[in-house]
Amino acid sequence: WFRDNFGVDEDLRGVVGGGDYDLLCYEASLCPPGAEGLILLPYFAGERSPIWDPKARGVLFGITLKHGRKNFVRSILESCGFAIRHLIEDLELRGVEVEELRSSGGGSKNPVWSKIKADITNLRVITFEEPDASLLGAAILAGMAAGFWNDLRRACTEMVRVKEVFEPDPGLRRLYDRRFALYKVLYERLKDLFPELGDDVDEE
């Protein structure tokens, strides 16, 4: 959404290399943890678990004149970390213990984003050589059907390779605990207003 509407800093392309998301993550890395007081509620299309609120809307909270692109991008990446932490908290309330996060998909390719997730959730984040888990799973099942393996566990052991492990920074625990608490309070304070705004948006 941010890339499509605000673009990327093309001046960075020769410095950083890579694609658009690499440039955006680099911008985020230039901003201190906590995005200098900027918090995003990432409910651009409502939200499913754990709040189950189709009327929820995105909110960028705390904007001042000092904030710029790097703050906005950082707050977007951090909002994903807060959303994951919210899910983990819900699982733990249901008796499910979460010990680490295994990350796949396009978002797992950039180390900046993976580190942000680790710091916010206070959990180890593991990424893999093949980020496309669906593709890899299909290849493993095809290999099983073709007789390359007769044991699924062995096939997974041979095919699934860890790329990098990101450990949370204990020095950021207090900051992100406070930010996460505010993230949840913001939704609770605003949730009764979302339906009114949502109706106007839907009519337009």
Query: How many domains does the chain contain in total?
Result: 1
Average pLDDT over residues 151-171: 95
Per-residue confidence band for 8, with pLDDT thresholds at 50, 70 and 90: confident
Ordered DSSP codes for the chain: -HHHHH---GGGHHHH-S-HHHHHHHHHHTSPTTTTT-EEE--BTBB-TTT-BTT---EEE---TT--HHHHHHHHHHHHHHHHHHHHHHHHHTT----EEE--SGGGS-HHHHHHHHHHHTSEEEEESS--HHHHHHHHHHHHHHTS-S-HHHHHHHH--EEEEE---GGGHHHHHHHHHHHHHHHHHHTTTHHHHHHHHHH-
Average pLDDT over residues 11-34: 87
CATH number at residue 41: 3.30.420.40
Average pLDDT over residues 36-57: 96
Per-residue confidence band for 198, with pLDDT thresholds at 50, 70 and 90: low
- pTM for the whole structure: 0.89
Contacts of 80 (CB under 8 A, 6+ apart): 42, 107, 113, 116, 117
Average pLDDT over residues 95-105: 96
pLDDT at 200 over 60: no
Minimum mean pLDDT range among 8-12, 46-50, 74-78:
8-12
Per-residue confidence band for 7, with pLDDT thresholds at 50, 70 and 90: confident
pLDDT at 199: 60
pLDDT at 183: 98
State the Cα–Cα distance between residues 155 and 158, nearest whole angstrom. Answer: 5
Percent of residues, the chain, with pLDDT higher than 90: 82
CB 167: neighbour CB atoms within 10 A?
A: 12
Domain that residue 7 falls in: 2-203
Contact 121, 102 (CB under 8 A): no
Q: What is the mean pLDDT of the chain?
A: 92
